[in-house]
Chain A
Amino acid sequence: MIPAEFDYVAPDSLDAALRALAHGGEDAKALAGGHSLLPLMKMRLAVPTLLVDLRHVPGLRGAQRENGSWRIGALTRHADLQGRAELGIVGEATSLIADQQVRNRGTIGGSLAHGDPASDLPTILVAMEGTVSVRNSAASREIAAGDLFQDYMTTAIAADELITEVRVPALEDWGHAYEKFTRRAEDWAMVGVCALVRKGADGSCEDVRVAFTNMASTPIRATAVEHALRGQPLSSDAITGAAEQAAEGTDPPGDLNATPEYKRHLARVLTRRALSRAAGV
């Protein structure tokens, strides 16, 4: 399968990349790792007329710790983040994306900009209540995770904007777990559940966040579960009880791998597992 023809530029500064995007209009696309865009182009589901390759743009790679947060450059690859304990849930979840070859190419900025509800990092960003910094050639702005994902593969990022940086709180005193259920190795999640739990000195649940992959057209928070567990003792009974609420208010689309009802079942089971692991019970 060969993509349709397109023009290609690989600018060596962020400004030049932004100008090229603005100039190219709606049919210009940024190219990061290409591991979401190129498969779509090969199937002619995407037919951009101009690709603006970001690989020569400096300063958009790596993770830096700053004032209780991690600042992660948009071009940082999954492989650069995978398995790094200091990055908490980001290190855990990136090692579960696809396979090593894909992780060697795919980037955090591309993953978030693509906005696929079956992808893992959008869910992690929503659970962590992180933000992305975006820029066009005139201005820059911050978008909170809760405002970023608008619909299936639709984000608040405009065609002439680029994500430059992802910022997530370090959440060092929180337990974390990402449970991803796949039908085959290397697959996207049928359902994924991210749980973050802050335990109080008395062993109770001081704060909790739960977010789902592939349970709606965007990543979503499981507010009923959070509400049920917050302030409760972190016992396995309390976790099981809270996890029972996981599917509440959800209306997941069925797909080739799972019916809506099966997804709701998975959400309950995976929420229990993720909460138990995050809480260490």
Chain B
Amino acid sequence: MSSNVPVRLSVNGRVHELDVEPRLLLVHLLRDRLGLTGSHVGCDTTSCGACTVHVDGEAVKSCTVLAVQADGTKVTTIEGLAQGDQLHPLQEAFWEDHGLQCGYCTPGMIMAAADLLARNPDPTEEEIRHGLEGNLCRCTGYHNIVRAVSDAAKHPHAGRIPHPGPTPEGAAIGLELAREGLGA
């Protein structure tokens, strides 16, 4: 019935051109068409945040965005955070602080935390809890997640997403991070 629509978007620095059904959700484009399964579907009702990715540098729940709405945008997923072997400061801090147990919420948690730190580079514990309201974790009780975000915030580039990814600029950030040493 409905005709497909061409979309062109950059995901983690790579440009993709696809024909999609208008009803295809961004999270399904990422997972099923591009094989980027780091973004999870937890609730499918815009509540849990497991599907959080960045569109043009801001966190969104990709289960509630049509792929066609992402036409012409730059999308960053959890797979686009690390620069080669160098983890992003948030990834490093989640690891160091045991900010995860089963890991299901973690990609979305980290993408939401990156948006939070971009808006507020030096958040209080209260601000971190408030800022991560859109993300649910069934395992950790949030304590170590909040600690991880707080520790990551001490890193000068924690709010920066290497975006659009492995471009010369992204590589430069990665090298810079590597030189400064990662971790909290």
Main secondary structure of the interface of A (DSSP, over half): loop
Our pick among A39, A55, A100 for the contact of B46 (Cβ within 8 Å) is A39
B134 touches A186 (CB 8 A): yes
Interchain CB contact under 8 A, A100 and B2: no
Binds B, one of A3-11, A17-25, A119-127, A172-180: A3-11
Residues of A within 8 A of B66 (CB): 8, 31, 34, 38
A35 to B3, CA, bound (A): 23
Q: Which listed residue (A1, A3, A79) contacts B58, Cβ 8 A?
A: A79
Q: In chain A between 1 and 49, which residues have their CB closer than 8 angstroms to a CB of chain B?
A: 1-8, 10, 31, 34-35, 38-39, 41-42
Name the distance in Å between A81's Cβ and chain B's nearest Cβ.
14
Interface centre among B2, B25, B64, B115, by most chain A C-beta atoms within 10 angstroms, is B64
Q: Which of A4, A98, A100, A101 has the most CB of B within 10 A?
A: A101
Residues of A within 8 A of B5 (CB): 8
Contact status A55-B60, CB under 8 Å: no
In the complex, A138 has a CB within 8 A of chain B: no
Q: Which residues of B contact A35 (CB under 8 A)?
A: 46, 64
- In the complex, whether B23 has a CB less than 8 A from a CB of chain A is yes
Residue pairs across A and B with Cβ atoms less than 8 A apart, 7 shown, are A6-B23, A8-B5, A10-B68, A38-B66, A42-B45, A55-B69, A99-B134
Q: A6-B23, A101-B61, A105-B61 are in contact. List 19 more A-B contacts (CB 8 A).
A: A2-B25, A6-B22, A8-B5, A8-B66, A34-B65, A34-B69, A35-B64, A39-B45, A42-B44, A79-B58, A98-B133, A98-B134, A100-B119, A101-B60, A102-B46, A104-B60, A104-B115, A105-B64, A186-B134
